[in-house]
């Protein structure tokens, strides 16, 4: 990093190069934008859309970017939107990413902008809810775009705004998400030098950012197990082969891969079953059963071991009880790695924006993010943004009907992503 000097004064880091906070955007500009960002978020929250179906969401994003004079590409990875803001001076290219999809969750919160959207998901009736905070990510990045567009003449290089669909995974049988965006060349033309992303967190107080160098989020794999038995009357189980009973044995066996075969001193790993489907009537032992779940790992060797042992164990257990079983394992995300050099370079920017005490190290989590596919291609820095009201002792967990965040923390996200973009481009010029 050229011509970069830091002066520490009253615990706050100041930059000698063109600090966005000091010379380009003042705090009042962020303050004036807050109401708009909250309004956007509430609109997205009230009108959520599932992965690869974010038509209205994408339309609203694209309209906003075009109004700002940003070059816009739509239909990326089906429903994604990419904006390119060219600065007034030559330089590098930095990308910022926000995910835009919602989840098949029926909201339980009593909010004036509560989602009442209903749909079908995998043949089941369900509500649709932004139960993971992607509505906040989208609104935050729209705010960043507005701030940076107003100061484009002072920007060195370019900023690529990536509004990504289907982060929670595309519908079965479809491609989507970050992986498809990468395949379609979102990190090219112009080539991206670094990428930043954030995730609102309902267990982190507002005003706080939590980060980790290296592996931050786990890889996620989806598994589907089909168990085959022999149908019979429920009163005579001995005359058939019960796939539900076999499924119970398989599920029990899978947990032994975590508790007895994985070195948990090395990294965490999780195997969870999220869905079991079998049978139609109380007095009929069915012919088959289906088990669907997820595998989360933070180490590639552990991931390979678990995959190998599941492929061995599942058919063996079924055979032991007189049935048969097949297993299919599909990668959903890779491990999300934060580039060590990029983190070290940009950490002072976070500390400047929020205060050193509010930029905190965190441990890796078994949550997963397909942001991993972006950082597999270019250096990246992904972090958690506080969304919990300070003093709250009962956070609202992600992916639940009760998920809730404190909107007053959203502008911290706008400020941080704005300053990261400018400081990175300044340092690269």
Known catalytic residue at 369? no
Q: Catalytic one among 101, 146, 242, 334?
A: 101
Query: CA-to-CA distance for 145 and 149, rounded, in angstroms?
Result: 6
Residue among 348, 317, 342, 335 nearest 243 (CA): 317
Determine the 3-state secondary structure of 186 from DSSP. coil
Query: CA-to-CA distance for 61 and 131, rounded, in angstroms?
Result: 20
Q: Catalytic one among 49, 54, 135, 167?
A: 167
CB distance 223 to 329 below 8 Å: yes
Name the E strands within 131-193.
Answer: 156-164
Q: Which residues contact 33 (CB under 8 A, 6 or more apart)?
A: 143, 146, 147, 411, 414
Residue 317 to residues 164, 170, 245, 286: CA-CA distances in angstroms?
40, 31, 11, 18
Q: Which residues contact 49 (CB under 8 A, 6 or more apart)?
A: 55, 56, 57, 101, 102, 128
Q: How many CB atoms lie within 10 A of CB 57?
A: 24
> H/E element holding 351?
helix 340-354
Residue among 101, 105, 60 nearest 83 (CA): 60
Whether residue 183 is preceded by a cis peptide bond, meaning omega within 30 degrees of 0, is no
Q: How many CB atoms lie within 10 A of CB 391?
A: 6
Query: CA-to-CA distance for 319 and 427, rounded, in angstroms?
Result: 61
Known catalytic residue at 101? yes
CB distance 135 to 99 below 8 Å: no
Q: How many CB atoms lie within 10 A of CB 429?
A: 16
Query: CA-to-CA distance for 212 and 221, rounded, in angstroms?
Result: 22
DSSP 8-state symbol, 129: B
CB distance 210 to 360 below 8 Å: yes
Residue keyed to tokens 């933070």? 298
Residue 125 to residues 106, 109, 116, 341, 419: CA-CA distances in angstroms?
10, 19, 13, 47, 43
Active site positions, annotated: 101, 167
């Amino acid at each position: 990093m050229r011509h970069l000097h830091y002066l520490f004064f009253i615990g706050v880091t100041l930059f000698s190069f063109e600090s966005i906070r000091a010379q380009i955007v003042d705090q009042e500009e962020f303050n004036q934008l807050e109401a708009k960002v909250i309004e956007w978020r509430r609109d997205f929250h009230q009108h959520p859309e599932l992965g690869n179906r974010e038509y209205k969401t994408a339309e609203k994003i694209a309209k906003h970017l075009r109004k700002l004079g940003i070059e816009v590409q739509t239909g990326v990875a089906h429903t994604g939107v990419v904006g390119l803001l060219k600065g007034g001076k030559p330089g590098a290219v930095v990308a910022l990413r926000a995910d835009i999809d919602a989840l098949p969750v029926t909201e339980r919160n009593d909010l004036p902008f509560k989602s009442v959207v209903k749909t079908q998901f995998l043949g089941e009736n369900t509500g649709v809810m932004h139960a993971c905070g992607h509505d906040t990510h989208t609104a935050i990045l729209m705010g960043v775009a507005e701030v940076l567009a107003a100061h484009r003449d002072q920007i060195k290089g370019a900023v690529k705004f990536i509004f990504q669909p289907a982060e929670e995974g595309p519908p079965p049988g479809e491609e989507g998400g970050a992986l498809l965006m990468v395949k379609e060349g979102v990190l090219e033309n112009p080539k991206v030098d670094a990428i930043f992303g954030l995730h609102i967190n309902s267990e982190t107080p507002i005003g706080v950012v939590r980060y980790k160098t290296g592996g931050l989020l786990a890889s996620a794999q989806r598994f589907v197990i089909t168990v085959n038995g022999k149908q019979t009357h429920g009163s005579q189980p001995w005359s058939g082969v019960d796939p539900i009973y076999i499924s119970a044995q398989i599920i029990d066996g899978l947990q032994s891969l975590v508790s007895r075969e994985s070195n948990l001193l090395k990294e965490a790993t999780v195997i969870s079953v999220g869905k079991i489907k079998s049978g139609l009537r109380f007095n009929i032992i069915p012919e088959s059963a289906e088990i669907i779940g997820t595998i989360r790992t933070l180490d590639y060797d552990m991931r390979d071991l678990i995959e190998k042992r599941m492929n061995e164990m599942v058919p063996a257990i079924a055979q032991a009880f007189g049935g048969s079983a097949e297993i299919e394992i599909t990668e959903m995300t890779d491990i999300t790695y934060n580039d060590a050099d990029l983190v070290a370079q940009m950490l002072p920017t976070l500390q400047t924006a929020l205060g050193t005490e509010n930029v905190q190290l965190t441990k890796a989590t078994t949550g997963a993010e397909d942001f991993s596919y972006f950082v597999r291609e270019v250096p990246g820095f992904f972090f958690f943004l506080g969304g919990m009201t300070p003093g709250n002792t009962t956070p609202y967990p992600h992916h639940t009907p009760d998920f809730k965040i404190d909107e007053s923390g959203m502008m911290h996200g706008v400020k941080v992503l704005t300053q990261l973009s400018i400081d990175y481009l300044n340092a690269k010029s």
